[in-house]
């Protein structure tokens, strides 16, 4: 099998794509997989790290406000479509998979024009613009939330859930390894703070202001800040002067991070929500309010409405997040209730189901 997987821009697109690729290789180790991403985006570093080759397109996104940058969009799109057609002709894929993000548009369009069967994987509860446009040509659309008929033809939809990294499924077996990796004490409660692959300014500023409260309560904090905030975070940790707080710009060993967490503070991107369901960790979700069509709030409410997570609005995070986290860590009964409820929403076989849909496309 020869398969192209395209898309990226954020970890929420990249890691599901890698999970699908890994499952395709598990189904058939001889499968030849090529990734296509956007030049300068994080997939150009993360995908090779996972062991797969990647080609870059010069594509850029459209700004939602009127800017001069939008003037170059048609030029970049034309260049990207030309390059995508070259890649399809050279690689000769049997199928193409799009996971959302700038690069999936030109690549899946070029694949469709060449008669290559295509599959879209939509992670969010509100479909992205690229996937809504591509749905016209896609043969199959794999989704993670009910009600996606509002965006896609019902006959093409398959409810699979979101694929996550395979190691996440075995996080509970990594507690000791996680404590050793992050230098944690086994007897103290631990809060994991993750603002997505690029960090979250509101969450970071709330944590910066509240570190002393966690230290005074004897709570350990594993804090992923993103690269833009890491220097401020390190200064804040140094000011507090406690080894209980560990700050990182990016955490690669997320299975171990989840393993040590008694509670999690997180954005509500589709990947984060899916991982939290799979590992069954009590969570406080702080949706990013500027996400397209406020889809992170919709993702979060899918859990909150089932009593499977707590919600703190972004605009209230600077005042409400620290008290909410402290209260949750001091309430074992509530943590257990959230843990039980969120586990019922997990879809551990999502990557396998999507990989099988790709294989079925080629068979047809």
Binding-site members for UDP-N-acetyl-alpha-D-glucosamine are 10-12, 124, 165, 197, 251, 270-275, 296
Cα–Cα distances in Å, from 165 out to 15, 94, 320, 343? 7, 24, 31, 17
Token output for 109: 């369009």
Identify the H or E element spanning 214: helix 201-216
DSSP strand pairing (54-57 vs 220-224): unpaired
Token output for 208: 């910066």
Q: Give the sign of the dihedral formed by CA 356, CA 359, CA 361, CA 364.
A: negative
Distance CA 205, CA 216 (A): 19
Annotated binding site: 10-12, 124, 165, 197, 251, 270-275, 296
To which residue do tokens 């001091």 refer?
330
Distance CA 102, CA 258 (A): 30
Task: Give the CA-trace dihedral at 18, 23, 26, 32, to 10 degrees.
Answer: -60
Q: Cα 144 to the chain's mean position, in Å?
A: 13
Distance CA 19, CA 351 (A): 6
Residue 271 and residue 162 in contact, taking contact as beta carbons nearer than 8 Å: yes
DSSP strand pairing (310-311 vs 283-285): parallel
Distance CA 6, CA 262 (A): 35
Q: Enumerate residues 6+ apart whose C-beta is below 8 A from 117.
A: 94, 95, 96, 139, 361, 362, 364
């Amino acid at each position: 099998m020869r398969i192209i997987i395209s898309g990226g821009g954020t970890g929420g697109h990249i890691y599901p794509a890698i999970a699908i690729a890994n499952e395709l290789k598990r189904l058939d180790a001889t499968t030849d997989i090529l990734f296509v991403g956007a030049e300068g985006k994080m997939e150009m570093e993360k995908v090779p790290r996972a062991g797969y080759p990647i080609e870059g397109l010069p594509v850029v996104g459209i700004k939602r406000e009127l800017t001069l940058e939008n003037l170059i969009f048609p030029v970049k799109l034309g260049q990207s479509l030309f390059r995508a057609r070259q890649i399809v002709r050279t690689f000769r894929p049997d199928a193409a998979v799009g996971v959302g993000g700038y690069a999936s548009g030109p690549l899946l369009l070029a694949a469709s024009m060449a008669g290559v069967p295509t599959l879209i994987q939509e992670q969010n509860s509100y479909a992205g613009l690229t996937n809504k446009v591509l749905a016209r040509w896609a043969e199959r659309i794999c989704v993670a939330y009910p009600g996606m008929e509002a965006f896609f033809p019902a006959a093409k939809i398959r409810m699979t859930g979101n694929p996550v990294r395979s190691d996440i499924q075995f996080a509970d077996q990594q507690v000791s390894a996680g404590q050793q990796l992050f230098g944690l004490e086994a007897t103290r409660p631990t809060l994991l703070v993750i603002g997505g692959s690029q960090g979250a300014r509101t969450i970071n500023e709330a944590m910066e202001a509240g570190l002393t409260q966690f230290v005074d309560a004897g709570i350990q904090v594993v804090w992923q800040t993103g690269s833009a905030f890491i220097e401020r975070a390190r200064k804040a940790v140094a000011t507090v002067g406690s080894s209980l707080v560990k700050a990182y710009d990016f955490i690669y060993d997320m299975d171990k991070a989840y393993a040590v967490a008694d509670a999690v503070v997180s954005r509500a991107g589709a990947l984060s929500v899916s991982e939290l369901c799979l590992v069954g960790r009590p969570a406080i979700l702080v949706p990013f309010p500027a996400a397209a069509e406020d889809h992170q709030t919709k993702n979060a409410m899918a859990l909150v409405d089932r009593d499977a997570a707590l919600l703190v609005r972004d605009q209230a995070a600077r005042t409400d997040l620290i008290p909410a986290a402290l209260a949750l860590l001091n309430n074992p009964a509530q943590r257990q209730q959230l843990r039980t409820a969120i586990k019922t929403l997990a879809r551990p076989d999502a990557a396998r189901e999507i990989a099988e849909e790709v294989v079925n496309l080629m068979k047809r």
